[in-house]
Structure 1
Amino acid sequence: MRVLLIEDDRMIGESVEEGLRAEHYAVDRVRDGVSASMALSNDVYDVVLLDLGLPKKAGLEVLKDYRKQGGATPVLILTARDTTAERILGLDIGADDYLIKPFNLDELFARIRAILRRNAGRPQPTIYCRGVRLNPASHTTTLNGEPLQLSSREFALLQALMDPPGQVVSKSRLEEKLYGWMEEVESNTVEVYIHHLRKKLGVDFIKNVRGVGYIVLDQP
């Protein structure tokens, strides 16, 4: 999962970014509203964390413009502004959730997971398909009830294909979900992880759609 963190405060930004990476998210961070709007135009993120008190362009303006242009990525506002009127305004403009600073990182991660569940139309906390169950909260996987060891990138790639299953995901989209701006991506990275996952899950669990990408089907 790839996150855009929009936060100008150095200490908060570094703390949240470090915590997100420890939770196995790919993270891009920008520090002002203009850069935020430019980053959002790429449309590669699974969730956006948005501070409101940004230089160059206010956070609410960033959100308003993004929604006006048809941007649909879930947005979680992180701010010290705690009045009811401001919360209502942010939600009405298009935010999906609102978290007041200072906040606990564990609560932030739980809210991100809840947003991702809602966005995928998945009410349950785990992701299940054909005997494989992923738990994003504990970052654990089971196959037919037995623990399955996956690396963080294998887990992220499998989650991208299973949440929800039945959709074709291109190689470039998978790379976007696995890596942030500053991380080098080798040309065969996705193929290597797909190969590793097939060895653990069976060769038919992840299918190629020639010239398009990869898919995990609901049924064999």
Structure 2
Amino acid sequence: MKILLVEDDQKIGRFVEKGLRENSYTVIWRRTAREASDSLSESGFDLIILDLGLPDGDGIELLRTWRNSRFDEPVLILSARGSVDDRIQGLNIGADDYLPKPFSFEELLARVRSLFRRKGTAKKTSLEHRGIVMDLLSHSVTFHGEPVELTNREYSLLELFLSNRGRTLTRTQIGEKIWEAHYDMQTNLIDVYVRKLRQHFDQGTDGPSIIKTVRMVGYVMPQ
């Protein structure tokens, strides 16, 4: 699941980003209204967490613009404006939930999961392929009915392949999606993690590997 976090406060942003990543969510953190709008127009997201007090614009007006432009991603507002009127305004503009600051991460996570469950009534909540079942809400994986323990990176990489079956993913695409700016293209980190996934899911099967190497390009999970 991919989340757009829009928060200019460095401390809160790092706190939320770290917690969500530790729960296997992919997080893109943007600090201004402009950066957020650019990211939203360039890539799809499953959820937006939006602070209202941004340095280059008001979050309420930003949300209004998004809704008028037919962006329908669920939006969770974070704001120091916690009055009943403020909450009503945010919800009427198009927010799906409203969490006043200060807040606990446990409550934020519970609200994020709740929004994903609501969205799940209209969107697929699991990915399945060759005996693998990935539950996108509980962040659990089974293989032929048996639980598989994955690290956060392994989970994110598996989700990327399952979501793009039949499509060749370049090393650059994988690095940018999973490690973002922290990935060094000179390392063999992707190969190491692909090998780990193969160890998890190729054992006991007579068919081809679950992930195929595309020489000089990257990898593909065959249909």
Give 1:183's aligned amino acid. H
Residues in 2 aligned to 1:146 and 1:91: alpha-carbon distance in whole angstroms: 42
Q: Distance in 2 between matches of 1:170 and 1:70?
A: 29
Q: CA deviation at 1:73?
A: 3.1
Partner Cα separation in structure 1 for residue 220 and residue 169 of structure 2:
6
Conservation of the 8 A alpha-carbon contact between 2:78 and 2:101: yes
Deviates more, 1:46-55 or 1:19-28: 19-28
Q: What does residue 23 of structure 1 align with?
A: 23
Q: Which residue of 2 aligns with 1:183?
A: 182
| Cα 1:101/1:179, change in 2 over 3 Å | same
Q: Which runs of 5+ in 2 are unaligned?
A: 203-207
The answer to whether 1:97 aligns with 2:97 is yes
Q: Secondary structure at the match of 1:28?
A: strand
Distance change >3 Å, CA 121–CA 40, structure 1 → 2: closer
Any unmatched runs of 5+ in structure 1? none
CA distance in structure 1 between the aligned counterparts of 2:162 and 2:177, rounded to whole angstroms: 13
- Contact 2:48 / 2:73 at 8 angstroms: preserved in 1? yes
Matching of residues 119-134 of structure 1 within 5 Å: 121-122=123-124, 131-134=131-134
58-67 or 29-38, which deviates more: 29-38
Amino acid at match of 2:70: G
String of CA shifts for 1:108-131, please: whole Å, max 9, x gaps: 2232233334156247xx666654
1:38 is aligned to 38
For 2:43 and 2:221, the matched residues in 1 are separated by 21
Q: Does the Cα contact within 8 Å between 1:2 and 1:47 map onto a contact in 2?
A: yes
Shift of 1:50: 0.3
Shift in Å, 1:195: 5.5
Instruction: Give distance in 1, aligned partners of 2:35 and 2:190.
Output: 29
Name the aligned partner's letter for residue 186 of structure 1: M
CA distance in 2, matches of 1:178, 1:22: 13
Q: Is residue 108 from structure 1 mapped to residue 108 from structure 2 by the alignment?
A: yes
- Farther off after superposition, 39-48 or 49-58: 39-48
Where 1:61 maps in the other structure, the secondary structure is helix
Tell me the secondary structure at the aligned position of residue 8 of structure 1.
Answer: coil
Q: Judging changes above 3 Å, is the alpha-carbon distance between structure 1 residues 64 and 137 closer, same or farther for their aligned structure 2 residues?
A: same
1:1-220 aligned within 5 A = 1-117=1-117, 118=119, 121-122=123-124, 131-135=131-135, 139-160=139-160, 162=162, 177-180=177-180, 182-184=181-183, 186=185, 193=193, 196-202=196-202, 203=208
- Give, in angstroms, the shift of residue 200 of structure 1: 2.7
| Pair member with larger Rg | 2
Distance 1:20 1:105 in 2: 9
C-alpha distance in 2, partners of 1:89/1:168? 43
- Which AA in structure 2 matches 1:50? L
**Offset of 1:177 from its aligned partner?**
4.1
Find the aligned partners of 1:29 and 1:157 in 2 and give their Cα distance.
19
* TM-score normalised by structure 1 residue count: 0.71
The structure-2 alpha-carbon separation of the partners of 1:114 and 1:147, relative to structure 1 and needing over 3 Å to count, comes to same
Counterpart-to-counterpart distance in 1, 2:69 and 2:197: 37
